[in-house]
């Protein structure tokens, strides 16, 4: 069997000899669009059992079957990192979800801040983007896209031991102290459970910034001297976090 060129996420247990029945959409994609026939290789992953090389063992118009042959990658989960961001325009929001999934986050949490433009998000559509990104980038893990939540409520209910890298576009001219009055450096930050927070196009309100600067788990961060767009800031922040505190 040749190495598979197609990687597919399936919600199905994977093990040697395990058969996976395909639904109509999957069959349409594999046999209608990609023109695979019986015997063709497909790589499968389900978010928990690693990656498997499978073979098409039945191909039909409305369904089909794949059979797992051998495991090609161990299960590898990303760091326990959440990306909190305020949804912006559709294509830019899609970009943030795709890049976060590629760069390695456990959870993508859209948040509603005071100046957030979007009232609603299509969680299922964003989740599908995260799945597609995982299929394309060789990940064996699917980042979970959570429902939109208000930032103030999320902060009020913040889990103990999770640190927050707060990307503050106005940090340079901030006159706020950190909780103990001293500047905080990521160099001194503990590893482990983290979240990154990126604000909306309109930035954070003064009240939000004041609150965030006073939180014991918040680490305010400046990403250079220019104001980045939220999608750029998300990628820059993920890069910085991966280098300083993550797996790079």
- List residues binding ligand SAH (CB under 6 A): 167-170, 198-199, 201-204, 222-224, 226-228, 230, 233
Beta bridge partners of 73: 51
The closest residue (CB) to ligand SAH is 199
For 49, the 3-state DSSP assignment is coil
Pairwise CA distance, residues 86 & 91, whole Å: 14
Give the shortest CB-238-to-ligand SAH separation in angstroms: 12
In the bound state with ligand SAH, the residue whose beta carbon lies nearer, of 203 and 246, is 203
- Given the complex with ligand SAH, which of 55 and 152 has the nearer CB atom? 152
Nearer of residues 28 and 162 to ligand SAH, judged by Cβ: 162
CB of 131 to ligand SAH, least distance (A): 26
3-state DSSP of 56-105? EEEECCCCEEEEEEEEEECCCCCCCEEEEECCCCHHHHHHHHHHHHHHCC
Please tell me the distance from the alpha carbon of residue 49 to that of residue 124, in angstroms, as a whole number: 23
Nearer to ligand SAH, 66 or 237 (CB): 237
Name the minimum Å distance from CB 171 to ligand SAH: 6
Of 141 and 204, nearer to ligand SAH (C-beta) is 204
> Terminal CA-to-CA distance of the chain, rounded, Å?
33
- Least separation in angstroms between residue 110's CB and ligand SAH is 14
The total of other beta-carbon atoms located within 10 Å of residue 70's CB is 9
In whole angstroms, the minimum distance from the beta carbon of 75 to ligand SAH comes to: 32
Query: Would you say 55 and 19 are in contact if contact means Cβ atoms under 8 Å apart?
Result: no
Pairing of strands 7-9, 19-22: unpaired
């Amino acid at each position: 069997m040749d190495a598979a060129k197609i990687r597919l996420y399936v919600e199905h247990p994977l093990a040697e000899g395990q058969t996976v029945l395909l639904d109509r959409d999957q069959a349409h994609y594999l046999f209608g669009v990609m023109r695979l026939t019986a015997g063709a290789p497909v790589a499968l992953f389900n978010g928990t059992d690693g990656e498997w090389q499978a073979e098409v063992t039945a191909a039909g118009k409305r369904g089909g079957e794949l059979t797992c042959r051998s495991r090609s990658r161990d299960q590898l989960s990303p760091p326990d990192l959440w990306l909190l961001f305020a949804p912006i325009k559709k294509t830019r929001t899609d970009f943030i979800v795709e890049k976060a999934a590629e760069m390695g986050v456990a959870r993508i949490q859209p948040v509603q801040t005071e100046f957030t433009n979007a009232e609603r998000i299509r969680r299922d559509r964003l989740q599908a983007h995260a799945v597609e990104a995982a299929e394309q980038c060789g990940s064996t893990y699917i980042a979970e896209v959570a429902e939109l939540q208000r930032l103030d409520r999320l902060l009020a209910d913040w889990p103990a031991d999770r640190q927050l890298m707060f990307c503050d576009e106005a940090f340079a001219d901030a006159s706020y102290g950190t909780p103990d009055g001293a500047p905080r450096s990521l160099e001194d930050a503990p590893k482990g459970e983290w979240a990154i927070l990126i604000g909306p196009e309109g930035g954070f309100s003064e009240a939000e910034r004041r609150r965030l600067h006073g939180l014991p788990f918040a680490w305010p961060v400046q990403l250079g001297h220019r104001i980045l767009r939220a999608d750029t800031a998300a990628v820059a922040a993920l890069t910085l976090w991966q280098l300083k505190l993550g797996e790079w």
